[in-house]
């Protein structure tokens, strides 16, 4: 596959752009693979990529029931940060953030990573204490964050109102190297790199059953026929429970919708990401000028991917007090994504009771920011049977009562 470069752009311009190759192949499935990954979102594609890059395993199929990156990867609000409280969480999210720094170069694909900085507003005394605690923990973990005062918040984000009567800004947890990336480009870049290594990405291929012989996985039944494998990775975000049921075990999580919206595009006015967890709202400005606004999870279990009025009313009402200027904007579009949430608001990267079957899920609202680190850890777990990054996130922690409580650092996940 030809590399993308300034020279390639000039060459194809001279050819009236008639010579570009397809970014990835669309093969028919083979009868058997060494490894099957179910889910061609960011986490599934990253897992396949690092299996190939780090471990030399390329006889892999990535199966997707819809289109590549059409699930949560294409429906999130693109925030990248690693300022989590617990050590295992900070380790895997910081690994992801550091990989994002050079991902465009590694994949030869511009993912539009923008380390513009992320601030999490403290709007109550309880949040001040919580974020100061997190800043101290981050210092010990080697994650660069700091707690800043209201005036510094105002300097970093001039459009913010720090003296609101209901939600005053009392400070913020600030991570300068956090930021955003283009969600579609992350999936497309990984897909292109996987395809270049010989990994098969098979779209419109829904898994309808997981086959086993004794206690060992044998393969999957799909809408394109039966496919055998030696190892199976389930990486399907909000549908994790559905696939686990096919494999014969249950997961300690629930699926709920999380909604977001964008405004009409306006001139640049905000070059940081601001999260206001007291009101479950957060906002950034996209490269196209839209104000990207997200809210909390729905209060009931569901699998919808649509928006609803109550999130517009609740989230935007609160954000308007903190950002008065957005009251004059029109909403451009609204959508929802399905997130799978565990009791401790931390993910699951684990072997399962079915030998040869591995699960990656339970990321809740933190999925996009974790994609490279998650893929790195899951690939190591599947290739070697263990991974230092994934060790604390096994299924056994729920049976042992060894929780990784991130209900505060996850912000909108609780």
What is the pLDDT, as a whole number, of residue 314? Answer: 83
Cβ-proximal residues to 196 (8 Å cutoff; 6+ apart), any chain: 1, 24
Name residues whose C-beta falls within 8 Å of residue 177's C-beta, 6 or more positions apart in sequence: 97, 101, 115, 117, 144
CA distance 70 to 64: 9
Sign of the alpha-carbon dihedral angle for 61, 65, 66, 71: negative
Quote the distance between the C-alpha of residue 24 and its chain's center: 22
CA–CA distance, 317 with 381 (Å, rounded to integer): 44
- Which domains can be identified in the chain, with CATH numbers? 30-82+84-108+183-252+344-400 (3.50.50.60), 118-179+255-342 (3.30.9.10)
Q: Which of 195, 198, 205 is nearest to 22 (CA)?
A: 195
- List the pLDDT tens digit at each of the 414 positions of the chain: 888 999 999 999 999 998 898 999 999 999 999 999 999 999 999 999 999 999 999 999 999 999 999 999 999 999 999 999 999 999 999 999 999 999 999 999 999 999 999 999 999 999 999 999 999 999 999 999 999 999 999 999 999 999 988 889 999 999 999 999 999 999 999 999 999 999 999 999 999 999 999 999 999 999 999 999 999 999 999 899 999 999 999 999 999 988 899 999 999 999 999 999 888 889 999 999 999 999 878 878 888 888 888 778 888 888 898 999 999 999 999 998 899 999 899 999 999 999 999 999 999 888 999 999 999 999 999 999 999 999 999 999 999 999 998 876 654 443
CB burial string 220-239: b at 16+ within 10 A, e below: bebeeeebebebbbbbbbbb
Q: The tokens of 225 are what?
A: 């026929």
């Amino acid at each position: 596959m030809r590399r993308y470069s300034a020279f390639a752009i000039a060459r194809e311009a001279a050819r009236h752009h008639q010579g570009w190759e397809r970014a990835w192949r669309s093969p028919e499935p083979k009868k058997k693979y060494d490894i099957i990954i179910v889910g061609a979102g960011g986490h599934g594609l990253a897992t396949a990529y690092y299996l190939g890059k780090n471990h030399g395993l390329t006889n892999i199929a990535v199966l997707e029931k819809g289109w590549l990156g059409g699930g949560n990867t294409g429906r999130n609000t693109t925030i990248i940060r690693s300022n989590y409280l617990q050590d295992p969480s900070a380790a895997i999210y910081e690994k992801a953030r550091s990989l994002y720094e050079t991902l465009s170069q590694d994949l030869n694909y511009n993912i539009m990573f923008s380390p513009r900085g992320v601030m999490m507003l403290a709007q109550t005394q309880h949040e001040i204490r919580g974020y100061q605690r997190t800043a101290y923990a981050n210092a010990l973990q080697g994650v660069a964050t700091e707690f800043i005062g209201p005036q510094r918040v105002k300097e970093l984000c001039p459009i913010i109102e720090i003296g609101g009567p209901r939600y005053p800004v009392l400070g913020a947890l600030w991570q300068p190297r956090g930021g955003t990336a283009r969600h579609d480009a992350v999936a497309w870049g990984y897909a292109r790199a996987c395809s270049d290594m010989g990994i098969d990405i098979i779209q419109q291929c829904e898994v309808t059953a997981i086959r086993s012989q004794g206690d060992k996985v044998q393969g999957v039944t799909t809408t394109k026929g039966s496919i055998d494998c030696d190892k199976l990775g389930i990486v399907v975000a909000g549908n994790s429970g559905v696939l686990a049921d096919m494999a014969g075990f249950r997961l300690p999580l629930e699926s709920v919708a999380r909604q977001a919206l964008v405004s009409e595009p306006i001139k640049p006015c905000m070059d940081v990401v601001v999260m206001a967890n007291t009101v479950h709202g957060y906002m950034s400005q996209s490269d196209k000028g839209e104000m990207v606004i997200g809210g909390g999870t729905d209060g009931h279990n569901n699998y919808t991917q649509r928006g609803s009025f109550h999130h517009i009313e609740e989230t935007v009402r609160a954000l308007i007090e903190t950002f008065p200027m957005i009251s004059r904007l029109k909403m451009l579009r609204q959508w929802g994504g399905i997130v799978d949430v565990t009791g401790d608001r931390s993910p699951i990267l684990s072997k399962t009771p079915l030998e040869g079957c591995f699960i990656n899920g339970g990321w809740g609202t933190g999925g996009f920011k974790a994609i490279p680190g998650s893929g790195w850890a899951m690939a190591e777990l599947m290739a070697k049977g263990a991974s230092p990054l994934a060790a604390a996130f096994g299924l056994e922690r729920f049976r042992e009562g060894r929780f990784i409580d991130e209900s505060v650092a996850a912000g909108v996940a609780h």
